[in-house]
Structures are given as structure tokens and as C-alpha cells.
Structure 1
Amino acid sequence: MSFNKFKLINLLTIPMVILLATGCGSNAYVKEVIPSDGICELDANGCPIDPNDPDCTGDYSHCKPDIVPPNPNPDPDPVPPNPDPNPNPKPDPDPKPDPEKPVIPNGMVIDTRNPVEFILSVCDESFNPPLTVLGTIDNGNNKIVVPLHYTVAGESARLNAYVKTVKLDPSLSQEGEANVFLKFVWNEQDVGSSGYIYANVIVDDSAGNNDGAFKVKCGLADRNYYGIPLAIFDYPVTTLDYSQFTIKVTSYVISDDGGQIWLPVVSPKTGSVWLNNNLNADYITVGNPYFDPHKQAETTKDIHAYGGLYQWGRRADGHQLITYPDEATGVAVNGTTEDKADNPTGSLFIKSEGDWRVKPDQGLWKGLDAKNRVCPKKFRLADDNEWKAEYDGRGALGWTWLPPSFLKLSATGIRRGTTALVYGSGHEAHYWTSTIFNTNLANTLFFNYYEDDSYTHQYRKADGNPVRCRMDNKFL
């Protein structure tokens, strides 16, 4: 949602008598419509249109000096002011910011994507082992950082600092902590023609537990994958318009009944629901030392978010398992074979110039009833159009996160079907779609650190690529 906050403020500053006379739906701030003497005509800023109008006797101190009307009853013998005893005063050591100074400079636009951050806080005994995750926001490892993409009509600009503070409801605290404030902050900075600024969410509980952390109450939004709002921050995106960043709490988790647990994330652009991590990522694998289903990739090179590299249309039979000693190196867990098979009985990666199967089949990963379904219940692979609806191909050379940033896609690399070797980890990724290109090729969403675009591209079905699942529309 984008709205014009300054227009709202201007409307609220209109003298009440005018609103009562004309109704809120009229241009009440332009002209008093009751024909009578004593009319003071005001502009959109609540200032006199005619600075010499003797009927304008209200308080117009908020108006610019050149349009403040004269006092209709001036003192006939004004007392001259005392001379300034200090003609060269020192500046105020703590000057107050100019309230009329816009945060966003002219020509700068921040994307109005209404980003959302989900906090998982769940206590569920039905899992084995029982799942207990207390969602935490703090100023350390669980700090929330919001990347905001911008463009500038020119080579550079100066962005002013911004702070928005909200008070948290103590009933949402696991500890019943009161007097906790969250601040959405970015610093004053120089910006180029395009790029990202980073807003930090800072916990201020100096009047509470004073530990810089807020623990979210367990089970607040049970079975509600859209979550409930914890905090909503307005932030400027142009000189006049505002957008919103929302932090939501959810207790809804998704399980594949095979040792993987995900958190749903909702697209701020389309409202669609996706898994928050790739299949087989360390963060969603029960028993993994890095298991934390709330967590997403901290950077595009986060190896614990990489996950498995699947041959298109193949079951999760172990062929997809990869370990990553570092961000640029992927090592297969299992071996390889050159024998094609329609129904592989082992976990060997099948090397091929095209398809890993003897007989191609376009329905292996298509829809909820896919023959070789790898996504959890209610989820499936997205097709080309569903991926395109989430990203816009925007330039992002040297990205932190290429859109769609809410998915926190990681640069897993690709496992070549011809050699079974993994390459490109840390600087590129090719996410499988359900869309077939031809007998041997299927489409992926491709992005690369060294290119300034994201787009669909075709790869061999025998290649190994990451999988991210989307909820089917029938459940939205």
C-alpha cells in the first residue's frame, strides 16, 4: 500500500470551521463556500492565498514568511526590539531537524514493495522430536535488516536519516515484557543512481528487561500462514509518498513428513505463499546442527541455505544431496552413473547430455498431483509465469538480493549433467520451474552476480538445480 501522508497532514491542519461548512469530501482547504463577510481564502497548505487579506487573523506561523499576513490591528507605537547582545551567536549544539525538510530528495524513488518479515514462534508437541522455536528479535544475531531498492534521476543524491518508532503490545511477549519499542532506522547517506539502502530494526527495551531482545509469545498465530502483525512501520519512498514494512508472527509450519520443516512466506507483490527455504537446506533439516526453520539466507552466499541440486522431475532419492565446505565449493554426497532409468532405484546421479530418463515425461513435476512430487502437501513447483510475477528483471549487478527479495534466494550453483560437477556456487543459481521447453530441456529462473538481470533460461533435465516450492492457488 502506498499513500500520500503529506496530503493527509495538510488536510488535518485545515481550520475546523471550514470542514464543518463544506464537508470532508470537498476542496475545503481551497475556499470557504459560505458567501459572507470575513472570508479568509486558504491554499492547500492552510495558508492565506492573499497575504494582504485583513480577514486572515488566524495563526499562520507554519506558513512561509513571505505569505504570513499582516496583523489587522497593528500596534500604533511599536517598541523597537533590543539590539542583539551577541551579534555572532554560536550554533545550537543540538539543532532540531527541520520538520519540513523531506527525507527523500527530489528525483529519488524507493520501491513501494511493502516488504514483510515473518517471525516464527511455535511450540508443537506433534512433531518428533517436539518443535519449540521462540521467535526473537534482537540487536545481534536475530537483528532484522531490510534492503530497500532505489533509483535516482541523476548520478547521485543525499538521503536524509529516517526513524520510525512503534511500541510493542506486551501481550505478544513470551515474557510479558512491557515498554519495548522497535525502531525502523536508516542513516543519512550519499546514494548513487541506483542500488540499495539498508534499514535496521533496533530493539529498545531500556525501560523493560534492558537486554536488547524481544521474545515473541509461542503459538500466537497457530495454523495461520498469513500471520498476525507485530509491528508496522511507515517509511517514505518519494518526497510525498509512503510505503510500509510489516513484521508478522506465525506459528504455522510446513512439514514433508521426512525430516524437513519450513516456514511460509507471503509475497508482498502477489500475495502468493512460498516456502522460506530451498529443499534440503540445512536450516530446515531436522537434526542438522544449523536447524532453524525461521532462518533464511543471511547472504546470497549462505551455504546453510543452499540445499539440494535436483535433476528435473526426479524424486528426492538422495541424488540431490550436496555438502558445501565453503561458499564456492559443492561436493556430492553420492556417486554417479551413466545408465539412464525411468525409475531409478538408488541415489546415484545420472549423467546425460539431455534427459536422465529413457522416456521423457512432462508431468513429473507438474501440479499438485505430480508423479514425482518433491514439494510438501499443498505446495508445488512454480511455472514460468508465476516466477515472472514475483520478479521484474530489474538490474542488480553485484546484488545483495535480486528480486524477489522476500524469498532470499541463495546462489547455489549448478551441477552439470554431463560431468556431475558443481560449479558457480556463490555467484549464480538456476531455480527449476515446472515449465518444459522441449524433450531434453526445462526452464529455470537464472541470476548471476556478474550480470545485471534475472530471467528464465533453459537447462538440461539431467542438470542439478535448486528447488523452491509455491503453494497452489486453490489453498490461497
Structure 2
Amino acid sequence: MKKIVVTAILLATTSFYAQVGIGTTNPEGALDVVSTNSGIVVPRVANTASITTPINGMIIYDLSSNCFKGYQNGAWSDCGLVPVNPILVQVGNEGDAPNTVPSVVTATQLASVPGVTGVVPANEAAYQAYIDANPALFSAPATVAEINAMITAVNVQAILVQVGNEGDAPNTVPSVVTAAQLASLPGVTYVVPANEAAYQAYIDANPALFSAPATVAEIDAMITVVNATATPITSTTGKKWMDRNLGAKQVATSATDHLAYGDLYQWGRKADGHEKINWTSSTTGTPVNGTTTINADTPANNLFITENITPHDWRVNQNANLWNGVAAVNNPCPEGFRVPTIAELNAEFSAYGIIDSATAFSSPFKFTVPGLRNYFNGSLSVGSYGYLWSSSVSGSNSSYRYFFSGGANLDINRRAYGFSVRCIKN
């Protein structure tokens, strides 16, 4: 009986005054709800797609986003009832499957969306093509995160294509890629703006080192080489040297600077990936590639070759000339550089009084202590010793210099070891 009376009163109020009051006898709007300890619960739906016929003014609680959304101006709002940017609506509509709405969004429109960054006007057509080709990557409406992901993907690909085109043979497309472009590539590190012209020259001079499009690995390798050779050390002996170990990312800031450790090469072997180490601290690193016990004069892969049988060489047939000079068949050094002889290393150690790891680092060479990779199982011994291969041989072994906290000397050892290399200018 009470429910009937209340309903009648509400209907009467609605009929005569077009206002409903709940918790109040003086409603100040079409619906006025007053409470000191409760609230209104709006419809809770799985997501906006659950509403098949939305109309302007509709409010819901979106369970997939855990927020309020409203339908206004023909589109669902973002969380918090914020109006959706019409450009996001446009991109969402253009990212349809099948592609019945070709994308025509402009670079100017994309750049105007708050939160969207990195828009390159020259890539406008590529952005449109990406939207048409990847409908599954866009919501309706699209989100700022989706737009930014697209811009990054397109911009990266455009730069890789550019470098691949510039690395042509014969050189009909001179390289003009900028240091800023290279630095924007995810995965490319240690770009030095002052070396921009050197990067361009390297691309033009080494077309065989770049795919079409180029890869991030190829560009990162170029950066490492150019940075290492751009500012060589001139010794008091008159020789010029790379200012870091082969493969190092930077000039060492300490003897245990892992970013300056570089690669660990098996003697006489070329740069094929066996030498790569992912250094994570001054005492830890992980070989990028694994090991194999299969010896080969011309390895068919990038695996580190272990050998427990004398003469402990990674090859089947020993060859004493693999690193002998700048034109050596397996010279791992950049163009114009080579692996030094033991006499050349000895001369520098003598000239700068290198008697331990401390003096090795305090010298202009800034030598580090990356240790070695063992010939018998490929494991690393890191952080106490520095080992430097020479191009010189002694019988079935090869000559090298080493240093640690308690001393420094020259010696000979098994060629299957992985040691550092410091290149000398020819």
C-alpha cells in the first residue's frame, strides 16, 4: 500500500511539475536526489560496445576501463566524461576492417592532438597507409597511445629505409641522415652529434654493411665503429690508436667501466658475432651467442668455438696470418686500422710505464679489465684482468699483453681464448 502511494505521488509530481525529488520535497531539477550517506548507481556495462544504440546524453560506468563515460556529440567520451578529440574519432573510423574508409588524416591534425609527439610531416602518407593496413591496432575512437605507437613505428621505418637507400653501390644517393634521426631510433645508443658527417661518410663508404632497409643492429654497429675511430689517440711513440677496445660503447671512465669493456675475440677470427658480450656490470656479462665444439676454418655461425685438445685452436688448420696487417683476411678492425704486433703493444706499455691495472687505466689508452672468455667451455672470467691480443704468433700459440692489480706482462696463449683487441691505425 505504501509503495502505491509513493508511486502515485512521484507520478503526480512528474505530471504536474516535471520534477522528481528523492530525499527532498523541493526538487530543483527534473531529478533531484538528496542523501548524506549514499549515491546514484548508473548502469554498469562491460564496455561501450555493449551499447548498440547510444544516444547523446547517455552516461554509463565502463567496467573494462573502470570509469564513467558519456555519449556526446556522436561519440563516447574518454574516462571522466572528457570529450573525445574528433581526430581520434576520425582515426578510429579510418582504422576499419575491411578498409572501406581510406585514411586521410593529415600530419597537422595528428600533431594537434594533445599528448601526440614526434609527428614528421614528410611521413604523412606513411601514417595513413599504416592506419589502413593495421586496423587491429586502433580502437574506435583511437587513443593517444595508439597514435604515438604508430608514429614511432612509421618514423623508425622511414629512417631505416633512408639509411638503406643511402647505403647504395655505386654511391648515387649521398647520405644525409642526421645524428638526431639516428638517436631517435629505439635500440641505437651513444650517438655523438659531432660525428654526424662521419656517420654519413661511413654509410656511403660501406654499402655492403647495410640492408635495404637497414636494421637497428647495422646502425648501432656503425655508431660504435665511427665513435671509436673519430678521435684516435696519438701516442708518444708516434702511433695512432683507437681510444677504446674494439666493440666498446665509450671511452672508459674507470678500469672497471663495463660500457668500455668491448668484445672478446678468439685469436685470428673475424667479427662474426662470436665476440659479442652483453655487459651488465663491472663483474657480470652474458655472451650474446652460445658455444659449439665443432671446429671450422670458416665458421658457418656466430658461436664461440671451444677446444680442449692441443693446440686449442678454434680452427681445423692453424693459420698464423689471419690478423697479419690491415689487409689480413680476418682483420676485425675498422677500415684503416689493424691488430697491433706484440712489439707495438710492448712499446706503448714501456712508454707509459704500464705496470698494473691502475697504470693501464691512467695511461691515455684508458685500458679496462673485462677479463676473458675461456677456451674450454666459453665461460667468462670478468673484472680483474685485462688481456690484449696482438697479431703476433709463437709456435701454435699467439702473443698478448695482460695486466691486473699486482702487475703486467707479456705472454703467449691458446688461440681459442676470447681476449680484447685494441686496434692501431695502419
- TM bracket, shorter-chain basis: 0.3 to 0.5
Structure with max Cα Rg: 2
Bigger fraction of residues in strand: 1
- RCO higher in 1 or 2 (8 Å CA, sep ≥ 6)? 1
